[in-house]
Chains A and B, each alone.
Chain A
């Protein structure tokens, strides 16, 4: 049977051996770190963005590289997923973009600060994280006997404006693609005329007080393009 001094030797020996291996692996990890994290892209903006991220304890709700508080979405690939313009609009008034949903603090970032946060998140998204997060691997079709949803939108001659795919699809779906916060827009062109759609986009509250639709920062050209596109959805 094990004696007390043997037990002590097991404790001290094991601690020393595995501690040494840990230090060795740490040194090797540090050696590879610059390449794996694209350290050359750590610009002034990225570092400022990290400061803003920490100063406001964003990880107290969100997760980043899977670490955080699980109350709000993981933001590792958010720039890839949502795009810069969407995040830019979102940060101005988070609750307007997800009305009636889980609340996010309105931080009143300046244009510059928003850019820094986005630069930081963009840099994080490009870290070599051993393939994480993995892509969903259960196709919806395999667990449902119902036919996959058919696209109900007619073939549209007008192509989707860039702003539409950056902002609107976060809440609205066209041809089953997009969010479900707002109504699907498949036949919106047959319901409303150009003038109405235009006025709606300028200020939704004027047309329908209390609506959840936010007032989006669109230039005249961008608005015109979107209205043209929407009118073609019949």
Chain B
């Protein structure tokens, strides 16, 4: 790490690890409920587990993005962070809001809108919090001696993510409109501005890990995020097919969704090409694994598997089935979870000065969690396709069909166990790195630049 203030990122990453562990626990609760072991029903009914599982995902990824920004922006700006104190206040208040929300879910306190379950009063606190974060980042960039594209794309992505949170806070008494504007947040986040954040972080990691000229990497960054918006904005239409909006959304959503994989394909080709052009080897191979892995898995999970069921004539059957859960798991894992783990893998040796990336456990973490996640996705895919045929195409009763697919959920739980082993290795490594040290300031481990 170059600057003292980058140390603040460590605490964001540590929070990530904690929230990710909790997310896995709630995933298991849901998995067991699906195979008939719902002993926790009276304390944690499925809807509580589900809201907690998905909200923890969003919160830990955002925490990771914030940590990444606090790490990347000072280095890209070539100066200390505007205010370290503000960053700590922001982290603590962020965690407090998150904890209150999660506890609230267990007492039937929520908004009941998929992915946006956080109750309204807490929404305002989130807004204040994110504004504080953006202010800190903006001031750092504002007072910086140099501007880089990576820095600006990352900031623009974070800013848009904050702005797009607002349409989710308007109350509509009409379910169709409620749903319409909820997707402005959910879709335009994950298939829009989050990809900008992803592009920015990926560009930073590629610059550091491959040593390819910044100008080349940043030019392609524009192309990739250009493709994202070109397809992703109107691609929102694939959520509008069956909720009561005009029929033209079928065509608009269909065509632009079909283009969405291009952005992810661009991302994967970009990352692999930059790796191919590398001048010399960076010693932190683990970080490189996660970085390239993220670019490729996001293409498979978000790009290809998304494409597999967004065409209207397919989607009319798969809409609202486990097919969506299948796509969701690999998409979030590949695009965002792996990316945050990539930043952590890259930053930890720099912050602590410990070169743990030479050991075996990093590879075990990578392969076990990835094979586990692919296994979970496969199990959900088989369950989903079975559900589509039996329930939708043949018209069998919902609960009868659910009994037919119990077996695949046993498979899913086994794959989830492997995944959890991988994540455990990652977290153990994280802890073994220890706390960031002042001696590491001014030194980066093996950067090529």
Contacts and interface: CB of A to CB of B under 8 A. Distances in A.
Interface in B83-120: 105, 108, 110-114, 117
A56 to B, nearest CB: 7
B47 A70 contact: no
Interface stretch (B64-72, B201-209, B244-252, B339-347): B244-252
Nearest to B173: A47
Interface string A92-114: 00000010011101000000000
A230 to B, nearest CB: 23
A120 B112 CA distance: 15
Contacts of B319: 66, 132-133
Contacts of A4: 149, 215, 218-219, 222
Interface in B191-241: 215, 218-220, 222-223, 225-227, 229-230, 233-234, 236, 240-241
A130 B241 contact: yes
A39 B244 CA distance: 11
A70 B220 contact: no
Contact of B241 (A30, A128, A132): A132
Interface in A38-87: 39, 42, 47, 50, 53-61, 63-74
Contact of A132 (B175, B215, B242): B242
Given A57-B47, A57-B51, A29 B229 contact: no
Contact of A73 (B38, B46, B395, B398): B398
Please classify how large the interface on chain B is, using the bins under 10, 10 to 19, 20 to 34, 35 or more. 35 or more
Contacts of B175: 37, 50, 64-65, 123-124, 127
A65 B113 CA distance: 13
A67 B222 contact: no
A2 B219 contact: yes
Nearest to A138: B393
Contacts of B360: none
Contact of A69 (B47, B227, B317, B392): B47
B45 interface: yes
Contacts of A66: 242-243, 319-320
Interface string A130-146: 11111111101001000
A194 interface: no
Contacts of B321: 70
Contacts, number: 202
Interface in B152-199: 173-177, 179-180
Interface stretch (A11-19, A182-190, A219-227): A11-19
B417 interface: no
A33 B46 contact: no
Contacts of A138: 389, 393-394
A180 interface: yes
A60 B48 contact: yes
Interface in A1-28: 2-4, 7-8, 10-11, 14-15, 18-19, 21-22, 25-26, 28
Report which residue of A61, A69, A133, A134 has the largest number of chain B beta carbons within 10 angstroms of its beta carbon.
Answer: A69
A50 B112 CA distance: 10
Interface residues of A, number: 70
Contacts of B41: 103, 105
Contacts of B105: 57
Interface of B: 30, 33-34, 38, 41, 45-48, 50-51, 105, 108, 110-114, 117, 149, 173-177, 179-180, 215, 218-220, 222-223, 225-227, 229-230, 233-234, 236, 240-250, 252, 316-317, 319-322, 324-325, 389, 392-395, 397-400, 402
25 contacts: A7-B223, A15-B233, A18-B229, A18-B230, A36-B245, A36-B246, A50-B173, A50-B175, A54-B113, A60-B112, A60-B114, A61-B50, A65-B243, A65-B320, A67-B243, A67-B320, A70-B324, A71-B30, A71-B46, A98-B399, A102-B399, A105-B45, A129-B243, A129-B244, A130-B241
Given A15-B229, A19-B233, A33-B177, 18 more contacts: A2-B223, A7-B223, A10-B222, A11-B222, A37-B176, A53-B112, A55-B108, A57-B51, A65-B243, A66-B319, A73-B399, A129-B244, A130-B242, A132-B242, A134-B316, A136-B392, A136-B393, A138-B393
